[in-house]
Amino acid sequence: MVHLHQTKDIQKQYKKITARMIDLITKSNLLPWKQSWLDMDQPLNWATLRPYRSINAMMLTFTRRVKNYSTPFWVGYKQLQKLRGRVEKGEKGTPILIPQVYGPIPKKFQHEETTGIYNFIVRHVFNLDQCAIPERYHPKLLVKENFNPIEKAEAIIAGYKDSPQIHLSLFGALYNPGSDIIRIQAKDGFRPVEEYYGTLFHEMVHSTAHPTRLKRSMKSFVHRESYSREELIAEFGACFLAGEAHILPVVQKNSASYLQNWVKYLRNHEDELLKAAIQGARASNYILGKGRRGRKKSHEIGDLTISSGSLSKIGVM
C-alpha cells in the first residue's frame, strides 16, 4: 500500500473524513446519488435544435448511454462544417433514417394520416462529444444563475501544477485518459455551487492516474471491477479536496451515496474502501502539491484503520 508523507494536521483531517464517509455509507437510510448538473435526455439536432423522433430518438438515446456521451446534441457532417466544427479523428457516426416523399398517394390508398409515398435513406450524425466545436456556437439552453466562486476551491484548481486542460462540456463531466483532457459543464449549470467543485475535484483525481502523474492502471477505465475501484478512489480524493476547500458538509451525503453505489461491485474485496481512501489521499496530495513522491509501505492513513466488522455492514465481506 501507500504511505503518505503528510503533516499531522493533514493526517488527522484525512482520518476524520474517511471515517465520516464510511459511517455515512453504512447508514441504511442514505438517499440514492443525485446528479447535480442540469441535463436533457431528448436527443436534439445541434444545428436546428429540433428533437429527433421515433426510431432515430431510440437509436441516439441508446448510443449515448452505451458510449457515455455527456451531451444530447447531434449533428450531421455538412451541418458541422457550416458551423465551423469538425469531427475528431477516429470518431464514427451513428446512423439515422431520413424520410423522403416521392409523390402523392393514389386516392384509393389515401387516408387521413398519409400525405405521400415515403422512402428512407441512411445518414450519419455525430454527438458533440465526438466533435471539436467553437464555444461561441454552443446552444444556449441552460437556465443560468449567478455563480459565486469559492475562493479556497478555486485556489486548489489553480494549484494543480501539471493539471490536464479543462474544457467546457455542454452537459456533465468526464476525464478522457487518451487525450488527457477534463470536460465539465459550465459552472452555472450545477446546483448547488459546491457540487461544481466536488464534480471537478472527482475528475481531477481521475486525471492523476495518467502515466505522467501517479501511474495508476489505465485498465481502470475499461473493466467493470477495476473501473469501480477507480471511481471509489476518485470520490474519496474529491472528498479530501472538498475538506480542504471547506465544502465537504454540503457535498458529503451525495458523495457517500456515490461511493455506496460503486462499492457493491467489489463484494469480494473487504478492504477496498480503505485501499481507495489511501489512493484517494495520495491523489489529493498530488493535486495539492504535497507528498508527490509517495512510497509503498503501509495500510493506514495516519493512524486510521478500519475493522472488518465495519466493512461487513455494507456487504463487502
Task: Report the phi/psi class of residue 125: left, alpha or beta, with left for phi > 0 and alpha for psi in -120 to 50.
Answer: beta
Residue 44 — pLDDT band, cuts 50, 70, 90? Answer: confident
Who has greater pLDDT, 169 or 104? 169
pLDDT of residue 286: 96
Burial of residue 31 (CB within 10 Å: 0-12, 13-18, 19+) is: exposed
DSSP state of 31: P
pLDDT value at 141 more than 80:
no
Q: Which of 136-170 are b and which e, b meaning 16 or more Cβ less than 10 Å from the residue's Cβ?
A: eebeeebeeeeeeebeebeebbeebeebbebeebb
DSSP state of 167: E
pLDDT of residue 262: 84
Q: What percentage of residues in the chain have a pLDDT greater than 90?
A: 35
Scanning the structure block, which residue is given the C-alpha cell 471511481? 231
Q: What sign for the dihedral angle of Cα 268, 202, 294, 152?
A: negative
What is the mean predicted confidence (pLDDT) over 208-233?
Answer: 84
Instruction: List, in order, residues 6 or more apart from 289 with CB less than 8 Å away.
Output: 159, 161
Which residue type occupies 57? A
Q: Would you say 152 and 244 are in contact if contact means Cβ atoms under 8 Å apart?
A: yes
What is the mean predicted confidence (pLDDT) over 215-236?
Answer: 81
Q: What percentage of residues in the chain have a pLDDT greater than 70?
A: 72
Distance CA 85, CA 207 (A): 27
pLDDT of residue 178: 87
Scanning the structure block, which residue is given the C-alpha cell 433514417? 97
pLDDT value at 143 more than 70:
no
Who has greater pLDDT, 317 or 189? 189
Residues facing residue 100 across a β-bridge: 119
Question: How does DSSP assign 211-264, residue by residue?
Answer: TTTT---GGGGTSHHHHHHHHHHHHHHHHHHHHHTT-HHHHHHHHHHHHHHHHG
Scanning the structure block, which residue is given the C-alpha cell 451525495? 254
Let me know the angle formed at the C-alpha of 155 by 150 and 156, rounded to the nearest 5 degrees. Answer: 105
Q: Would you say 87 and 75 are in contact if contact means Cβ atoms under 8 Å apart?
A: no
Is the pTM higher than 0.85? The answer reads no
In total, the chain counts a number of residues equal to 317
Q: Which of 116-120, 153-157, 252-256 has the highest mean pLDDT?
A: 153-157
pLDDT of residue 267: 58
Distance CA 192, CA 251 (A): 9
Scanning the structure block, which residue is given the C-alpha cell 493526517? 11
All cell numbers assigned to 37: 448538473
| Nearest to 177, CA basis, from 243, 124, 226, 125 | 226
Mean pLDDT of the chain: 79
Dump pLDDT digits (tens) for 234-270.
Answer: 999 999 999 999 999 999 988 988 888 887 776 545 5
pLDDT of residue 139: 63
Which residue type occupies 70? S
pLDDT of residue 63: 92
pLDDT of residue 9: 73
Q: Would you say 233 and 285 are in contact if contact means Cβ atoms under 8 Å apart?
A: no
All cell numbers assigned to 41: 435526455
pLDDT of residue 279: 94
Q: Which helix (H) or strand (E) holds 81?
A: helix 77-82
What is the mean predicted confidence (pLDDT) over 125-146?
Answer: 73
Residue 294 — pLDDT band, cuts 50, 70, 90? Answer: very low
Dump pLDDT digits (tens) for 45-83.
Answer: 888 878 888 889 889 988 998 888 878 889 999 999 888
